[in-house]
Amino acid sequence: MNFQLDAYDIAYSDLGQEILHKVGQDIYGEYVGQLSWMTIEEYRRFIARLAPTPESHVLEIGSGNGAAAVYLSTTTKARVTGLDNNESGLRLATALAKSKGLEGRVDFRFGDAARPLPFKDNSFDAVFANDTFSLIPERPTLLRECHRVLRPNGRLLFTDPMVLVGLVTSEEIAVRTWAGASCLTPVGENERMLEASGFEVVSCEDLTESVVLVARRQASAFEKYRDDIVNNLGQEAYDGLTSSTGMAQTLADQKRMIRVAYLARKAVTR
Ligand SMILES: C[S@@+](CC[C@H](N)C(=O)[O-])C[C@H]1O[C@@H](n2cnc3c(N)ncnc32)[C@H](O)[C@@H]1O
């Protein structure tokens, strides 16, 4: 069984979205539909660093229900293309863009980011991926693909919530990765892979505090809506969700597993 796709299938089902909309406000305060560790303050900072203009074309990898892509286009007027391998997420995303009157500015494609990206060379001004690269062990290929599809001087910003800086047991990893197959990254490896792919690393920001904050709020929200979640998704899902969130908080709090945002630039070759 592919647990990763099952978890996203649940999240992107009508029921999953209904529950997420109930808990979203409690977890993020300002909730735009994200399904990650990303707070809206953080997202505004990411967008400022990518600096898209109305003439820019941005690619979001792991666009899920389309909320982040729609927010980006609404706030900057940039054109955005989202790529995801979850059909239910793509359906939600397409419907969301349509409901906001953004057809033509925001579009979504089915695709596996572990494989060559279905876009021409030098097509995008920026590539963004939030909490998605940790789901893709083929990251060297993915980074080379991001480099290929970016225009010279184009920017890549991605977060990795699974950077390993301390000792973590196999049991802790199993609980933490309950929601799906993931790839843990030794500290320093993303920078090395970025440079090996032709990127210049501009900045690395430690965002572990967001995991602590969001996980703590998630725990309270799950408790508050316990009956709803158990009745709709089952006890096993409730237990898995709460244990995995608790483990994320512990590992982040103790700085054994950190979340980092990497900003890189496609250097111009002479
Ligand atoms: C943590 S969610 C992030 C969703 C959204 N970007 C956000 O910030 O809320 C990760 C997304 O990556 C997608 N994903 C996972 N593996 C993928 C792959 N190999 N190719 C494309 N998308 C993938 C999942 O379907 C999911 O929508």
Determine the distance separating the centroid of ligand 1 and the alpha carbon of 228, expressed in angstroms: 25
The ligand 1 atom nearest the CA atom of 130: 8
Tokens 């003439």 -> residue: 55
For ligand 1, atom 6: residue with the closest CA: 63
Kind of pairing between the strands at 79-84 and 57-61: parallel
Q: Which residue has the tokens 């920026």?
A: 126
Q: Exposure of 191 by Cβ count < 10 A (0-12 exposed, 13-18 middle, 19+ buried)? A: middle
> Distance, CA 136 to ligand 1 centroid (Å)?
9
Q: Which two tokens stand for residue 63?
A: 């666009």
H or E segment at 136? Answer: none
Name the percent of the chain in helix, strand, coil, to the closest 5.
50, 20, 30
Beta carbon of 38 within 6 Å of any ligand 1 atom:
yes
Distance (Å) from CA 154 to ligand 1 centroid: 22
Q: Which domains does the chain carry?
A: 3-266 (3.40.50.150)
Q: Which atom of ligand 1 is nearest to the CA of 63?
A: 6
Q: What is the pLDDT along the chain (270 residues), one digit of tens a residue?
A: 333 446 788 889 888 888 888 889 889 988 999 899 999 999 999 999 999 999 999 999 999 999 999 999 999 999 999 999 999 999 999 999 999 999 999 999 999 999 999 999 999 999 999 999 999 999 999 999 999 999 999 999 999 999 999 999 999 999 999 888 899 999 999 999 999 999 999 999 999 999 999 999 999 999 998 998 888 888 988 999 899 999 999 999 999 999 999 999 998 876
